[in-house]
Structure 1
Amino acid sequence: MDTVSGLPIQLLHDRLLVREDPDSERRSSGGIVIPATASVGHRLHWAEAVGVGPLVNAVQTGDRVLFDPAEKAEVDLNGTNYILLRERDIHAVAAKRVDDGETGLYL
């Protein structure tokens, strides 16, 4: 077991283990659920990083990451479904590490 993340596996290289947000279903501004079959274009999904490999640089455990669902590999660990990704498959990170009043941009 990985003692850092509490997961029953140790991630290698640039791999991330993420759990897809349960609230990833699309809703209109009025709160109406839009079914996935009504999707017109290619849509990215949000997930929470629950484990990161030793070569991952831009993502930490707990970060929300944006990824392409077409590039995912699913894995079941102790009855919970996770997604295994490479760091290069992550399109954006919405980190909670940015302090209030700061932009989070580095110039």
Structure 2
Amino acid sequence: MTTHAKIDSGLPIRLLHDRVLVQLDGAEGERRSSAGIVIPATASVGRRLSWATVVGVGPHARAVVNGDRVLFDPEDKAEVELQARQYVLLRERDVHAVAASRVEPDATGLYL
């Protein structure tokens, strides 16, 4: 695991503690059903979790690494703009799931 994130501009960022810097997958708001019907953001019912890609992790993060896809609650996020790009800063305990090829299919995961 690396404690430095290298943002596209080359600006080095050092995350502290168990912080995780992620970039959202796709655009928030409207989404499409499997049949291609556009569902506006205002039609969402209940809480909907979001997927993002990890671009940096702090030294105490244990279950995620750069490049992992993670599932988190978008209501519990801190947004940050670095070099005109939007990122989300999370604590590792706010990550609900990790999708990565290194995750074993029968593993129960880590309790954080």
Both proteins in one fold, TM over 0.5:
yes
Q: CA deviation at 1:28?
A: 1.0
TM-score, length of structure 1 as denominator length: 0.84
1:30-57 deviations in Å (ceiling 9; x for gaps): 1222111000111000000000001000
Alpha-carbon distance, 1:23 to partner = 5.4
1:1-107 pair list within 5 angstroms: 4-7=4-7, 8-22=12-26, 25-98=30-103, 104-106=105-107
Which residue identity lines up with residue 35 of structure 2 in the other structure? G
Task: Please report how far the alpha carbon of residue 85 of structure 1 lies from its aligned counterpart in structure 2 after TM superposition.
Answer: 0.2
- SS of alignment partner, residue 19 of structure 1: strand
- Alignment length (residue pairs): 102
Q: Give 1:96 deviation, angstroms.
A: 2.6
Question: Residue 9 of structure 1 aligns to a residue in which SS?
Answer: strand
Deviation at 1:67, TM superposition (A): 0.3
CA 1:95/1:69 → structure 2, altered by over 3 Å: closer, same or farther? same
- Taking structure 2 as the reference length, the TM-score comes to 0.81
Structure 1, unmatched stretches of 5+, are none
In the TM superposition, residue 17 of structure 1 has moved relative to its aligned partner by 0.1
Alpha carbons of structure 1 residues 4 and 85: separation in structure 2 relative to 1, 3 Å: closer
Asked if the contact 2:51–2:70 (Cα under 8 Å) also holds between the matched residues in 1, the reply is yes
- 1: CA distance between counterparts of 2:27 and 2:79? 18
- SS of the residue corresponding to residue 75 of structure 2 reads helix
AA at the equivalent of 2:60:
L
Cα RMSD after superposing both structures: 2.1
Percent of pairs with identical residues: 64
